[in-house]
Structures are given as C-alpha cells and as structure tokens.
Amino acid sequence: MGVGSFFTSRLDEAIGWARKYSIFQYPFVTACCGMEYMATACSHYDVDRFGAGLPRFSPRQADVLFVVGTISHKMAPVLKRIYEQMTEPKWVVAFGVCTCTGGFYDNYATVQGIDTIIPVDVYIPGCPPRPESVIDGLMKLQDKIAVGAQRY
Amino acid sequence: MNGAAILERLRARLGASVVETHDQHGDHTAVIERTALPAALGLCRDDSDLGFDVLMDLTAVDYQKYPGREDGPRFEVVYHLYSLRWNHRVRIKARVDEDDAVVPTAVPLWPIADWLEREVWDMFGVRFEGHPDLRRLLMYEEFVGHPLRKDYPINRRQPLIGPQI
Amino acid sequence: MAETTRREIMLGEGSGTGTGQNLTVGLGPAHPAMHGIIRIVAELDGEIIREADVEIGYLHRAFEKDCEVGGWNNAIPYTDRLNYVSPLINNFAYANAVEKLLGIDVTERCKYIRTIMSEISRVCDHLTCIGASAMELGAFTVFLYMIKAREFLWELVEDVTGARLTISYGRVGGVRADLPEGFEAKVRAAFKQTREVLDEVHRLLTGNRIFMDRMVGVGALSREDTIAYAITGPLLRAVGVGYDVRRASPHWAYDRVEFEIPTQKDGDNYSRYLVRMAEMEQSMRIAEQALAAIPGGPINVDFEGRPIDPAAYVDQGKQGKTEGLLLVPITLSPNLEGQNRKALERVTAHDKRVVLPPKETAYGSIEGLMNHFMLIMEGYGIRPPQGEAYFASEGANGELGFYVVSDGGDRPYRVRCRPPCLPPMAALHRMIKDEMIADLVPTFGSVNMIGGELDR
C-alpha cells in the first residue's frame, strides 16, 4: 500500500464525515407521511441535530431525496424526473410504507414501491413512521454516506 | 318544508317524470327520468320553497353486480342537494344504461358540477351531454377504462413508467 | 380619462393591454412553495395570472375502490388517510354513515367521545393549515410554534388511540376503546399550552403589516360564487354564511354544547385566516364542555375477582374450562387502555350484529368466540340491509359526507366520500384569476388542500 492510497482513504473518511453532517434534503412530499415529516423537521424532534435541518426545494441543490408519501402512477414520471435532476452524489430515502412497497394500497393507482422506478438507499417503514424511526433511518443513511466510496 | 313535502312538490310539478321516491333512513330520494333531469334540477334550485342552492355532491353507482338489478339500468347518477336557506336536503337520482350512458349536464346550474361530472366520467364512464370540457379529472389521459366500474379489476395497473405489472 | 388598469399600476402608464404576449407556465406538481401536489397551468401576463387550469389526481389511491374489497370495518383505515390532518373526523363520519344504514344508535358516552376527539382533530387541522401557509409567506416562527402546539394535541390523540396520525379509532357501532384515565386533566393542560401558542400567533400575525399586505383582499371569492361552487367550511363562513353541519344538523353531542360559528364577510385570505383562528378557540370550548358533561364518569379498573394471569386465562379457555370465567373481571388487552369489557360496554352500541365482543368474552366463552368469528370471517361480518344512506359531519374543511350503498352483503357495495376540499380547488382558478402569481401561494394555502381527501 503506497503513501498515495493512504492519503486517499483518509481523505475519503474526512469527506464522508463532512458529508454525513451536511445533508441537504429535497422533501418530495405527497401524502400523509408529510405530517410526520413536518413533525420531525420542527423543534420537537429537531432534525437539525443531525445536520439535516435545511430542506432545499430544488433538486439541483439537494443531495438526499426524501420520498414522503404514496406515489401514484400519475406521479411516477415526475418523481423520476426529479431524481434525474439531482446532481451526484445523491441518495434516496423511502419514507413510509407506501414508498417502500405500496403499503395497503394494492390497487390500480399506486406504484408498488418506488424502487421499481428509482434506486433507494434507506427504507423507513411505518404508516406513517414515527419521528423516532425517521431519525433512526436518517442515522442509517449517515452511516452509509460516511463509509461509502466518496466521489468528488 | 319537510322531506315528504319536497317529494310531493316534485311529483306535482314533474308528473310522470318522477319514476319512484323513497325516504330510507330519513334521506328523501326521488328517481327522475333522465330526460327530465335539467327541469327537475332547475326546479329544485329555482323554486323558492325548495331553494336548493348547493349541489353538495354528484356521484354515480354501478349496479352491475347488485343482487336483483343485474339486468336493469347499469348506472345511477346521484345528486345530493342542500338548501342553505331552508336547511333541508334531497337526493335526486337518474338511471342510465351502459350502452347509452349519457346524462344532461348540470354545469349551467351549478359550476361545481364541472369537476364532479368530470370525476364521474373518469371513474364510471358516464358522459354528460353539454359539458364544456369533459376530460378525466383524477386519472391520467393514457389510462384506459373506468376504474370504479364493477368489472374493472382493482389491481389492473397501467403504469406510465417502470415495470408493467 | 380611461380607468387605470391593474396592468398599468404594475407596469406604468402606456403599458398597453398585453394581448398576445402571454406566457404559459406550469406550476407543480412538485412545487417548492406549495404543500400539496397539484398542477396549475397558468397563463401569465407579466406577473398577473390571466387564466389558470388546475389539474389534480396526483394522489389518487383508489379509496373508493379499496373500500369495496374488505368488510365494512376494514374501510376505517382507508378513511384515516383521506384527510390525514384530522383523521378522527373521517373515522366517525364514515362509521356514522354505516350506523345510519344499519339503523343503530351508539351510546351517549361514545357520542361525547366522538365530539371531543373530532374537535381536537379540528384544532390540529387548523394549526397545520395556518402554520404551513404562514411559513410559505416567510413566517417560519409561526410554523414552528404551531407544530409545537400540534405535538401537544397529538400526544392526547396518542393517549386515546395508540397512534399519532393514522389512528383507526372509530368503529361501526362505537369506538375502539374508552378514554384513558386522567384524560381530562391532560386535555386541559394541552389546551392551555395551545391557547398560549394561539395568543403568540395572534400577536405575531394578526396585526402584522407584512402578513396583512399579503392576505387582505387577496384570493377573494364572492358570496354567490362560493355558494355556487358548493364550498363549505371556513371558506363559506369567511363570506358571511354561518353554515356549519354541527349546527344545521346536530349529531353526536353538538346539540348539548354551546359554541359560536365565527364568520367574516370579505371572503379573502385574511378572513379565512381569522375564521380558522376563531374556530380553534370554539373547538377547544366544545371539547371542554363535552369533557365536563361526559356521562359514565371515570372507568373503574379495580378488579375484585381473583387476579389471573391473562395467558393462563386463555389457556383455561382453550381447555374448555369456561364456566364462570365470564364473571371474572380481568383485562386482557394491555396494549390500549379502555378496551376491557366494562369500558367497551360504555362506548359501543349493544348490538351483536355489529360490534366485536371485548377480548375477554371472545377468549373466555364460546358465545363470545362465535360472535367474534361471525363478525370477522369472510362472508359473514356486518351485514347492513340493502339500501343507501348519506351522512354529513363538519370536517375541518367543510361538509364531509359519506354516501354508502349496501347490497345486503358483508362488504360495502359503494362508499363515496364527499371531499370538503374539492369544491374550493374547483374554484381556485376563479380565486387566482387577475392576481399576482406570488399571491397564488397564500391563496392555495388558505384553501387548505389535503391531497388524500381531494384525490382520494
């Protein structure tokens, strides 16, 4: 192992550490889960403690896509377009069971899990998930961001 | 006016166009011939004793699989009217067959009928004659069929993107 | 001299009519300043909206079709997710529509519980509406305060129902469980905190120059248009029509409490804001009166019989040793307070065709077990007689009606929800016509569009 690769891996770690505490999220809020998203984002549960307090309402400025709520087939192309507009590096969180699997909406209108359309990094189940489990999912995402290979 | 008097007034003014009436569970209902629907709804709105100024709801029911009504007219278009002035309600219904599922529009009487009729068209495929812009309200244009019809399977998906399941 | 047009006020004298230069802009479905997924195709003349076409349906998840699949009670969780900001009202309104079809009446205590929980829900809804629309105008503090207040109320809801948001608490023939012990004191404490927040918000917003400039006279709809578009709820009361289902056709305990129906006369966004603020106070007043008058008193959970371990109790039942077990007052459902036999008798209708027996009875006696099976098994269940019924309650956005049709079977033949926020959305293009594009945001906020209810 040469000196160069030592530096690269240490640099990766440092960048990963920095990145995991500066999550700029794009909340793609469609449905009921948005209420719990609001609760998580506000002072009571305070997602700012994890460096994820600032939602960016433009996909181009965000690096984590929070898909919050049921995605219908009418909405699916919009979601894909938004995902494609985000710049690398980017992560996706499926917030709530509708985004994970379609939930109990097994019908003609609902997409059965957003991972049929876009790749997903963290799944947060629950209908809707409590803020505690949202924070748990967020911490899992932070771990994933910190240990993964960093592109810069 | 109580419910019975409302139905009496409708019968007196519309004659044979009133097919049947009932007051199940206190909801007074009149089934009207489809052709007489504009006259009936107009009467409900403009008669000062009836004074139904609000079209609370407009929907339809598909009776294809209803016991005893499999052969009869397939759809029932249901109007729920409310009078702010008199605080009374009435339900008006009209029956239509599947192969001639057309009902006169109520948009000239109440503008809210615009969206409600679009929804009924979207979900049941009942057309409204004279509607200014009858297109789907909830589903997308590419969608084929009318999902709330009883013969539309609940999980027949028509995805725009992604796997075709 | 020709009258100065709005275009001239904006762009200066001699700016012409702007004909033929209009720009068509699509806003949404994922738009940063709108908390809801709709698409507005606006034809802009400069910054003024000349024409707008509103497209909805992005959250259509087949509520009405899903209801036809399961039994009558299985539709309750779907009704939660109609207006997910005030799900309790949906639960109760749907349950009451089915009860109307069945011709049964719920107990007095249940009526009071429905009243109390509906009003708490309504406060939550108005808090969210005002908080979110104030945030979109830059008043972020208000949003934080109101979500804080909502959190206090959600703790109450959680105490009663076991969930914060999607509660599935209503049942055909009653509610799922009785109120927990010490609920009244908790409600009073939470209301005190909520009132403090409302007071703060009043001081922050009601006379605030920036807020008023954005809200007064914006998004107005005339009284005639409001009625013609079948708009109910706060938007109708903001044009001076005091229509409220709670007063017009009193149900539950609304005829036994005193409350006012706040109205305004201008019909603009500011009036709607004032109506909602006043309504929250009235809702808390109703809940407090109902709590003071609720019959049945506190639930006595003092067991006089032998203390038996619930697991042992079930085992005995399985071995057929059921004699006398019905007489043993024991609770088997530790996960939610107020589900034991005594409590359920208070809050559910005494009708075996409709209401599930308490768990002790289901585990402890063959009659109870059969009763349970008959209600749960496919092909049995609740079977209302053939017919149709419409029941309306006052949702947070207006008249929330459920039209249910039964074919005599164990599952609904048709469930139709009259969504309170569809009519204002249908009239949205009238509210935003000839106004600035930036004013679209507060107008959309004041409509309080809830996707689950609008698109179903």
Task: Note whether C400 contacts B: Cβ–Cβ < 8 A.
Answer: no
Indicate whether B64 pLDDT > 80.
yes
Give the best residue of B151, B157, B158, B165 to mutate against chain A (max A CB count within 10 A). B157
**Residues of B with Cβ-Cβ distance to C418 under 8 angstroms:** 56-57, 80
How do the residues of chain C divide into helix, strand and coil, expressed in percent and rounded to 5? 50, 10, 40
Q: Among C2-11, C151-160, C215-224, name the one with the lowest average pLDDT.
A: C2-11
* CA-closest candidate to residue C381, choices C349, C352, C344: C352
* CA-closest candidate to residue A95, choices A52, A31, A143: A31
Angle at B29 (CA atoms; ends B25, B34), nearest 5 degrees: 155
Q: Which residue has the tokens 């589900």?
A: C339
> Would you state the pLDDT for residue A133?
92
- Crossing angle of helices C87-102 and C108-136, in 10° steps, is 140
Which are the contacts of C23, defined by CB distance < 8 A and separation ≥ 6? C43, C44, C45
Indicate whether C287 pLDDT > 50.
yes
Give the best residue of C38, C59, C86, C144 to mutate against chain A (max A CB count within 10 A). C59
Which are the contacts of C106, defined by CB distance < 8 A and separation ≥ 6? C99, C114, C173, C174, C347, C348, C349
Distance of CA C231 to the CA centre of its chain: 16
pLDDT tens sequence across B97-108: 988 889 999 999
pTM across the whole model: 0.87
Pairwise CB contact (< 8 Å): C147 & A110: no
Which residue in the set C65, C225, C387 is minimally distant from B148, CB to CB?
C65
Structure-block tokens of residue A130: 């409590």
- Crossing angle of helices C269-293 and C108-136, in 10° steps, is 150
DSSP C70: S
Q: How far apart are CA A94 and CA A120, in angstroms?
A: 7
Q: How far apart are CA A121 and CA A64, in angstroms?
A: 10
* CA dist list (Å): C183 to B42, C64, C164, C293, C299: 51, 35, 16, 14, 11
Indicate whether C354 pLDDT > 90.
no
C384 contacts C408 by C-beta, under 8 angstroms: yes
B54: left (phi over 0), alpha (psi -120 to 50) or beta: beta
Q: Concatenated DSSP letters for B91-157?
A: EEEEEE-GGG-EEE--TTT-TTHHHHHHHHHHHH--EEET-SS---SSS-TT--S-TTSTTS-TT--
pLDDT tens sequence across B4-17: 888 888 888 888 88
pLDDT tens sequence across C181-210: 888 899 999 999 999 999 999 999 888 888
pLDDT tens sequence across C150-185: 999 999 998 888 888 888 888 888 888 888 888 889
φ/ψ of residue C452, rounded to 5? -60, -35
- Number of Cβ within 10 Å of residue B141's Cβ equals 7
Closest alpha carbon within chain B to C232: B56
Strands B88-96 and B29-32: parallel
* CA dist list (Å): C126 to A84, C283, C434: 36, 10, 28
pLDDT tens sequence across B102-140: 999 999 999 999 999 999 999 999 999 999 988 899 998
Lateral strand order in the sheet of C387-395? C387-395, C398-406, C414-418
Name the β-bridge partners of C422: none
Q: What is the ipTM of this complex?
A: 0.93
Indicate whether C329 pLDDT > 70.
no
Closest alpha carbon within chain B to A110: B157
Structure-block tokens of residue C38: 């709709």
Structure-block tokens of residue B129: 């004659």
Q: Where are the beta strands (DSSP E) in C151-216?
A: 170-171, 174-175
Pairwise CB contact (< 8 Å): C229 & B139: no
Distance from CA of A16 to the nearest CA of B (A): 32
